[in-house]
Amino acid sequence: MDTSLVFLILIGVTLSFFAIRNGKNSDLFTFAFLFPAVTVAFVLVEFSDFVLNAGGLFTIYNDAGVITVALFMIASCSLLALVGHGLGSRGATQFRTAPRGLEPPSERDVRYMHTASIVLGAMSFIAFLALASLGGGLQQYIFQSGGYAIEWRGLPVYLIFIVRLCYASIVIQLWLWVRTKRNRHLRWAMIFAIIPLINILFIFRRSEVVKLGIFVGYFLTNYRYISIGRVPALAGLVGMYGVFKIFPLLRNEAGKQLGMDELVTNAMNRDTYEDSEIGSGLLRIYQSMESGAFEYGAIFYNAIIQQFVPAGLVGAQTKAALLLPTLENQSTTFSAYLYYVSPMGFAQAYQQFWLLGGLIFFALGYFMARLERDRFFNRRQEIFLVLMIPPAVITVSADLALFVPQLITYLVIVLLCVPRERKQAAPARARRPRFAG
């Protein structure tokens, strides 16, 4: 057995222990379960496939030392994230689920949050229709993969930014539903979920499955006390892995004509690993190792500039001048939106701060743990937490740079749309959840 595969198994067993330990009921929708589970399912499984089947490409990267560095980064990023989460969870009384008898929000606050949610939802629907018009009309955009023909720069980037405000609308309405016990808020949440459901059922966007699942699961298990065992949780992860493999094949008309057996076969077979997500991550590590160049956090700064500084207002040259230099993938193109390939957060962490890149994930785990503390007694904190769980748990396997713009966006939305409340006193007794640390 190859040494690389042995290390992958050791990392997988360690992370699986933490995931299984927290893999039940409301703990399923915490960072302590989701982060190691996602890392095992969407990084380690793919990496094992690469080690076993990539052939010559694996040999090249192995001889160059890239595989060793990648394994170290996966281990350090994932374990430091859990250590940070464990340290951030210490020293405070916390609840597995929402305690009974919480004071409901005032009618004034309910009206304010409800109205703000509707405004955000309306903006999302308008932006969605505008985006569909750029993709050839609503019918072509939804049913004929029109969205994948759009050039994602300029106006479409800002439209998709506005479309994603519907997530805040959904979470606010779900929070109002469980705290007021009024079903009209659930109906509003279902209305605002139309856009994500379209993206899942017809446009085959994988991230929407994760977000909707976490949003709904969090409130059902924490407030409706729905029980979910470890076996259903494992089945859900297997299903998500299938979704992540199959959905890209359904983004064109040829893929939609395939039967299920052919879809599964094509999803599991790969002609080349150069344009795989692991291939993308390894290339990034290789570039930094060969050049000795690192970005020192430039991707986070550039992500903020790209998202919040419109070239139409400041000029394309001015915006370009504001960006910091970064390492570019010149050998292979990974940016095709139709078959979007994640840059892999563990590789980006190496590009930023060498072997110390795992400290980014330590800070991430600590940050999420602090959000989880006393969340049931601070509505802003809880709504912000729920919105941030999806981008946080996929950072090791997805684009690490996107976390910062989403954090800023949701923070501003929560501050504007969720009124501050008088802090409630927590009950004296509480059971501590089993956090990863």
Computed on alpha carbons and rounded to an integer, the radius of gyration of the chain in Å comes to: 22
pLDDT of residue 425: 52
pLDDT at 430 over 90: no
Copy the structure tokens of residue 228: 């979910």
Sign of the torsion formed by the C-alpha atoms of 250, 251, 256 and 262: negative
Question: Mean per-residue pLDDT for 195-224?
Answer: 89
- pLDDT score for 125: 96
Helix, strand, coil share (%) of the chain residues, nearest 5:
70, 0, 30
By mean pLDDT, which of 17-26, 215-224, 234-243, 392-401 is the weakest? 234-243
Packing angle of the helix pair 277-291, 45-53 (nearest 10 deg): 80
Predicted confidence at residue 433, as pLDDT, reads: 44
124 and 166 in contact (C-beta within 8 Å)? yes
Q: Which residues, other chains included, contact 259 with Cβ-Cβ below 8 Å and sequence gap of 6+?
A: none
Q: Which residue has the higher pLDDT, 30 or 100?
A: 30
pLDDT given for residue 429 in this prediction: 44
Model pLDDT for residues 37-96, shown as the tens digit of each residue: 988 888 888 888 888 886 778 888 888 889 999 999 999 999 999 999 999 888 665 677
- 203 and 145 in contact (C-beta within 8 Å)? yes
| Residue 271 confidence (pLDDT) | 59
CB 436, CB 22: distance < 8 Å = yes
Provide the sign of the torsion angle of the four alpha carbons 322, 324, 330, 333, taken in this order: negative
What is the identity of the amino acid at 432? R
- How many Cα atoms are found within 13 Å in the side-chain-facing hemisphere of 168? 32
pLDDT at residue number 331: 41
pLDDT tens, position by position, 336-351: 433 456 778 899 999 9
Q: With bands split at pLDDT 50, 70 and 90, how would you rate the model's confidence at 385?
A: very high
- Sign of the Cα torsion 50, 56, 59, 64 reads negative
Residue-wise pLDDT tens digits, 294-351: 888 888 998 899 888 888 788 888 888 888 887 765 444 333 433 456 778 899 999 9
pTM: 0.87
Helices 345-353, 277-291: crossing angle, 10 deg rounding: 10
Q: So what's the pLDDT on residue 76?
A: 94
Q: Which two tokens stand for residue 315?
A: 């000029």
Question: In what helix (H) or strand (E) does residue 125 lie, and over which residues does it extend?
Answer: helix 107-134
Rounded to whole angstroms, how far apart are CA atoms 162 and 165?
Answer: 5
Average pLDDT in the chain:
84
CB-CB contact of 4 with 51 (8 Å) = yes
